[in-house]
Amino acid sequence: MGLDEGKIIINNKEIFHGMSSGSFINIFSSEVNSYVNGDIERYNFKNPQIIDGLPLWLRIVFKKKCISSIELKNADPKLKNSYDNWSEDKIELKRKSHDEWLINQLGEPTERKLACIKYDYTWGEILSYFDPKSGDTGIAINYHKQDA
């Protein structure tokens, strides 16, 4: 799949380290909602994308037209939490699904901490994280800043 190279494939189309927001929009414009605030552009896929067997919500972030990060979250409706129906068990199951998916893709992580597992690469890092304050969990692909 190329995840270890910072690549994600969606419907045979690639999102990759070094991609510009213009290239991204040319390829995915009909599949995403956009939110622009100054130099920061965020694109959320309208529908979950199945990547290597797991349905995932995706958010792509560009800073100064250059890809900065990709966030992935398990889209299984059974793991959805709301303010009215909050469950620590759902958060833990979602987090475990992220960890397992990454380990299946990439092998053992570079680092394990209480709140995350981390993979370090020359182009950036990949984390499966848990934020106890917000109860949020996901996978973050963070790219090193590129010289313009």
pLDDT tens digits, residue range 112-128?
998 899 999 999 999 99
Query: Is residue 70 helix, strand or coil?
Result: strand
What pLDDT does 115 receive?
86
pTM: 0.92
Residue 100 has pLDDT above 60, yes or no: yes
Query: Is residue 126 helix, strand or coil?
Result: strand
